[in-house]
Structure 1
Amino acid sequence: MKYCIIVPDGMADYKLEKLGGRTPLEVARTPNLDNIAFNGLLGLVNTIPKGLAPGSDIAGLSVLGYNPEVYYTGRAPLEAASLGIKLGKEDWAVRCNLITINNEILEDFSAGHISDKEAELIISILNERLGNNNINFYAGKSYRNIMIYKGNTRIEADCTPPHDIIGKSIKNNLPKGRGSEILIDLMENSYHILVNHDINKVRIDLGENPANMIWLWGQGQRPSLIPFKVLYGVSGAVITGVDLLKGMATYLA
């Protein structure tokens, strides 16, 4: 028997005033979903273990049958795998968002969903100016990129996802804890490099949000995941446009 698991991640969305306090999904015409619900079995499942932050990374592992409390080491190592980055045992992968700040307020966690081409150029600039034997930046897709740290400090800082602090002060939400000084230094230096760069001058002229700073978060080390076929005795495939799930599938292959 074959199974197909469809995960409409984030489809629930938020209630909107212009929709009468309903979500886009509540007002959408969904005959196929309605048919599945009417003729199938409905239930609830908790994919986020108590004490872990809700997110696609943790929930994705749960859906695939891997206990996040055992296997989860961070979002960035999974995304790094999707880019073909091989992590050493002591390496740290860190998610590197290209963001927009204005007067120290985080305005946009995606820098206007910057294009892949522009993002790749910015990452190249950051590598030239901030990269060294211990620090390397890798271009991903759009604002979603990766930084790899190979130094001796453990990057165990408490980091806040940028999409959680839209409209808030970055100073009040900077990384805290072990290794935070490394992340903060890179973030602050990135602003000085990018704020007046020609790429951002053009974006501003076009009415687009500039990618004038990086935000580092979601760090972790290489996970030890048992291949899916070894664990469950069946093979499978993942079809996704998201680096996170692609990387997860890479580790499970």
Structure 2
Amino acid sequence: MKKIFYIVLDGLGDLPLEELGGKTPLESADTPFMDSLAKEGSQGIVYPVREGVAPESDIAVISLLGYSAEEVYTGRGPLECFAEGLEVRDGDLALRVNFATCEEGSWKILDRRVGRNLTTEEAAQLAKEINDKVKLEGAEFIFKNTIGHRGVLLIQKEGELSGNITNTDPAYKKEGVFGVALESFEPFLKEAEPIEGFSEDEKARLSAQLLNEFTKKSREVLEASEINKKRREEGKLLANVILSRDAGDCLPKFKPIKESTGLNFGCFVQMPVEKGIALLSGMEVVDVPLASGDLPKDYKLWAELAIEKIKDFDGLYIHIKGPDEPAHDGNFLKKKEIIELIDKYFFGNLLSKINKEDFAICTTADHSTVCKVKAHTSDPVPLLIFAQNFKDNTESFGESQAKRGSLGKLLGRELIYKLVELAKAS
């Protein structure tokens, strides 16, 4: 059996753009190394969760690892809290949060990510101030920054709390336990409240009340912080409010991936949500350096580490964040540029230093992040699998070619089993 490289490029999928001559960012990008795999491999399309669903990364990754998100998902909050080393007990309230910028004197949101320039060091100091100075009535909490503007919040009390509450972040709505990104929304922070069907649930009402209390009290601390005084002097946006979303009140229970696939997988991940899923599924998380800001250097290093670490596993799941962020900003030229950098420095270094006939190599995405709408959509993502003796004779990797590929149409939870099947057969 061949060893597996299972490579997921976050937000890779897109739609054709007039500005790119009717091509997608992937199709317009110069990607000779991925194209070389396409010429000798097979393509198809993947609906990461199911048709009609615009997935967030959490449920998409859960699906791509072979699980039914509908059956196991309990919210993004528990996953990220667990990834950050917090003990999430049944009945705790766990949330994913962002530092954001509100107009001073109102709850109008000016920027949901503080201009994407809040440093991890600044966020750590703000988190310390929140933990030191905010006190909740009848409950304790742990607030922890993660990467940049991102963070997690865990609220605990005697007795159980409930994840059945709405988001304060207006860019996402709660549909059951799933978080759904909205293509348009009013830019005002929302008060948390019990979701539909739980208005009389005392645990949900108390949970919403505690989150609203935290939001108000933490804003007072942030407004007074020396960090924000300095940012104001530097002409930067203030990190003066916390947006919360995707509450959950227990950890999901995954069947170990080694049991479901028969293989020992390691993984390279950058973000807390992917790390949480990986750990809970029984994958070994390989210690990789965080993004340095020098993308060629980062992608080259990841390729070199992949070549070294694949010796220890049957397969490596490699999740690269790159294309997603510029797509959320509507910057299709930047998305194209990052795809080209991934091809040149990750795939170029990987393929030049392995005998690719010894491997099954899969490249796909966790969701489409469409530049035109600056959001995740329900469009399928392209899929490329290189495994000896399975060829489409296509010329390049891209959405239009993928739709005509011999792999056809797959659901995300089917993909890992298809990949294992091809790795064993080739």
TM-score band by shorter chain is 0.7 to 0.9
Residues 206 and 21 of structure 1: CA distance in aligned 2, closer, same or farther (over 3 Å):
farther
Return 5+ residue gaps in structure 2 as ranges.
Answer: 172-180, 195-203, 283-426
Please give the per-residue CA displacement for 1:18-63, whole angstroms capped at 9, x wherever unaligned: 6577654343211122222232211112222468661100000000
RMSD: 2.6
Mapped pair 1:30 → 2:31: yes
Give a deviation string over 1:77-107, Cα, whole Å, max 9, x none: 1112221112112222111211112243222
Which of 127, 131, 134 is 1:127 aligned to? 131
Q: TM-score, normalised by structure 2?
A: 0.54
Corresponding residue to 1:109 among 112, 124, 135: 112
What corresponds to 1:143 in structure 2? 149
1:156 to 164, 170, 177: 164
Q: Tell me whether 1:202 sits opposite 2:220 in the alignment.
A: no
- The answer to whether the aligner puts 1:225 opposite 2:254 as a matched pair is yes
C-alpha separation in 2, matches of 1:15 and 1:127: 46
Matched positions, count: 252
Deviation at 1:4, TM superposition (A): 1.4
Q: CA separation in 2, counterparts of 1:22 and 1:43?
A: 18
Q: CA deviation at 1:215?
A: 0.7
Q: What is the identity percentage for the equivalent residue pairs of Structure 1 and Structure 2?
A: 31
- Structure index of larger Rg: 2
Work out the CA distance in 2 between the residues paired with 1:14 and 1:182. Answer: 41
Whole-angstrom CA distance in 1 between matches of 2:45 and 2:92: 38
Q: Report deviation, 1:242.
A: 1.3
State the shift of 1:196 in Å.
Answer: 3.6
Instruction: Tell me, yes or no, if the aligned pair for 2:134 and 2:221 is still in contact at 8 Å.
Output: no
Cα distance between partner residues in 2 of 1:14 and 1:52? 16
Moved over 4 A (4+): 13-23, 50-53, 160-167
Taking a change above 3 Å as real, the CA distance of residues 196 and 134 of structure 1, as seen in their structure-2 partners, is: closer
> Aligned in 2, Cα 1:209/1:63: closer, same or farther, shift over 3 Å?
same
Who is 2:314 aligned against?
Answer: none
Tell me the distance in 2 between the aligned counterparts of 1:19 and 1:209: 32
Partner of 2:81: 80
- Separation in 1, partners of 2:16, 2:119: 29
Q: Which has the higher contact order (CA 8 A, sep 6+)?
A: 2
Distance 1:21 1:209 in 2: 36
Aligned to 2:188: 170
Change (3 A) 1:155 1:134: farther
> Aligned partners of 1:50 and 1:176: how far apart in 2?
30
Contact 1:91-1:222 at 8 Å conserved across structures: no
The alpha carbon displacement at 1:211 in A equals 0.5
- Which protein is richer in strand relative to its size? 2
- Which shifted more, 156-165 or 242-251? 156-165
2:98 is paired with a residue whose SS is: strand
Any idea what SS the aligned residue of 2:251 has?
coil
2:407 maps to which residue? none
Listed as ranges, the matches of 1:179-190 within 5 Å are 179-190=207-218
1:144 aligned partner, one-letter code:
R
Q: Which amino acid aligns with 2:258?
A: K
Q: For 1:228, give the aligned amino acid.
A: I
Counterpart residue type for residue 112 of structure 2 = F
Cα separation, partners in 2 of 1:25 and 1:188, compared to 1, 3 Å = farther
Q: Which residue identity does 2:234 align to in structure 1? A: L
Correspondence for 1:12: 13
Which runs of 5 or more residues in structure 1 are unaligned?
none
Deviation at 1:237, TM superposition (A): 0.8
Alignment correspondent of 2:100: 99
Residues 76 and 273 in structure 2, CA contact (< 8 A), matched pair in contact too:
yes
Deviation at 1:5, TM superposition (A): 1.1
Contact persistence 1:98–1:214 (CA under 8 A): yes
Instruction: Tell me, in whole angstroms, the C-alpha distance in 1 between the residues paired with 2:251 and 2:52.
Output: 21
Q: Is 1:249 the counterpart of 2:278 in the alignment?
A: yes
**Residue identity opposite 2:102 in structure 1:** I
